[in-house]
Amino acid sequence: MAAAILRRLNPSGSAAPRVALARAFSDSAEPLTVETSLPFAAHNIDPPSRTVSTTAPELLATFRSMALMRRAEIAADSLYKAKLIRGFCHLYDGQEAVAVGMEAAITRRDAIITAYRDHCLYLSRGGSLVAAFAELMGRVDGCSRGKGGSMHFYKKDANFYGGHGIVGAQVPLGCGLAFAQRYRKEGTVTFDLYGDGAANQGQLFEALNMAALWKLPVVLVCENNHYGMGTAEWRASKSPAYYKRGDYVPGLKVDGMDFLAVKQACKFAKQHVLENGPIILEMDTYRYHGHSMSDPGSTYRTRDEIAGIRQERDPIERVRKLVLAHDLATAQELKDMEKEIRKEVDTAIAKAKESPMPDESELFTNVYVNDCGLESFGVDRKVVRTVLP
């Protein structure tokens, strides 16, 4: 078996999770043709081909990106239990193929907006581990200066617009981003993510109606992990075929645990919305943790169900099998990569812990625009306590 030589560009832990990989043999850039695990189910549109082209560097980088995300979320679980992360915290482990597959099909000029399960999407957009953990712990070096926490990650220079805590509220905002893209004739698109728990929100259908009328370049992505908080989809939705919910808007159902299927669907969707307006992608995925850290995740589903998904559909293991099947790396080399990732995550956490908490004055920043001159009074409304910047 030909050995793969893996080279990390930045060992500091502050670089983006996506890395360059150099291989010892010359055919590394030759395309590999792989068929998706399942066919796409389509509504009012002809589905894309199941045959997907990839390369050895892409598969190796994908494995590393997803393994890093998985390790980061497991570390966040430990930090939360140690009370270093406070408040709400929603973990993404199990759903990594959606974030990485989507990123593989688009550019950083395209926009992404999501709900509160946002850590890994931030990393996929090039966010650093240090900034991610610093934000989780409420430190000034966080991606939102320690003021957003788990649910409010942002990276404007990569067109990642959060990170929103109100169920479904990001969907109209995403359509607004797409409106701006079309108005400015940028030739870019917005991927507007929401969960199956938000799929019955009225604001989703209002926004979708306007997006269809104006042919906005927006891809509505329903990350269907089958449980809205602790409620199974069949208990909350009369029709859980979310890709058909657009009626007049076409849709695709995608195996969201298959990196290559997600990549193919997102590439297809991007081209479609640039020419025709919105489309809905339903990503059939699964979260291993509970809805949030306050949810054990085992009262409304069985442990056997979770173990079965891990064994049969885990997105990282699927890519591992592809890498091994095509002799792109040895099993030991992949294990060594995972050990390296653990060290990278641990180093990032240690650095994030060194970051200080925000100063008390930060309570008054990023609330109103600068130079508005508003005065803040005490409870007696007589004594001026501070003048807002």
The model's pLDDT over 6-22, given as tens digits with 9 standing for 90+, comes to 333 333 344 444 443 44
This prediction has a pTM of 0.89
Structure tokens at 1: 């078996």
278 phi, psi to nearest 5 deg: -65, 155
pLDDT tens digits, 78-128: 999 999 999 999 999 999 999 999 999 999 999 999 999 999 999 999 999
Q: What angle do CA 253, 231, 190 make, to 5 degrees?
A: 40
What's the rounded mean pLDDT across residues 204-233?
96
What's the rounded mean pLDDT across residues 241-254?
97
Q: Is the pLDDT of residue 274 over 70?
A: yes
Q: What is the pLDDT of residue 363?
A: 80
pLDDT tens digits, 307-362: 999 999 999 999 999 999 999 999 999 999 999 999 999 999 999 999 999 998 88
Residues in contact with 243: Cβ distance below 8 Å, sequence separation at least 6, in sequence order: 41, 43, 222, 251, 252, 253, 280, 281, 282
Q: Is the pLDDT of residue 62 over 60?
A: yes
Q: How far is Cα of residue 79 from the mean position of the Cα atoms in its chain?
A: 20
Average pLDDT of the chain to the nearest whole number: 91
Q: What is the pLDDT of residue 16?
A: 43
- Strands 375-377 and 51-54, bridge-based pairing: unpaired
Q: Is the pLDDT of residue 68 over 60?
A: yes
Q: What is the pLDDT of residue 373?
A: 66
Q: What is the pLDDT of residue 371?
A: 58
What's the rounded mean pLDDT across residues 173-178?
98
What's the rounded mean pLDDT across residues 207-228?
97
Q: What is the pLDDT of residue 364?
A: 76
Q: What is the pLDDT of residue 2?
A: 36
What's the rounded mean pLDDT across residues 202-207?
97
* Alpha carbon distances (Å) from 234 to 167, 231, 239, 305: 19, 8, 8, 16
Considering only residues 22 and 295, tell me which one the structure prediction assigns the higher pLDDT. Answer: 295
What's the rounded mean pLDDT across residues 179-199?
97
Upper half-sphere CA count for residue 222 (Cβ side, 13 Å)? 30
Tell me the percentage of the chain whose pLDDT exceeds 70: 91
Q: What angle do CA 23, 28, 32 make, to 5 degrees?
A: 140
Q: How far apart are CA 87 and CA 136, in angstroms?
A: 9
Q: Is the pLDDT of residue 197 over 60?
A: yes
- Strands 227-228 and 51-54, bridge-based pairing: unpaired
Q: What is the pLDDT of residue 389?
A: 63
Q: What is the pLDDT of residue 352?
A: 98
Q: What is the pLDDT of residue 5?
A: 34
Q: What is the pLDDT of residue 386?
A: 72
Q: How far apart are CA 368 and CA 316, in angstroms?
A: 44
Considering only residues 367 and 68, tell me which one the structure prediction assigns the higher pLDDT. Answer: 68
Predicted confidence band at 372 (pLDDT cuts at 50, 70, 90)? Answer: low
Tell me the percentage of the chain whose pLDDT exceeds 90: 84
Q: Contact 68/344 with Cβ under 8 angstroms?
A: yes
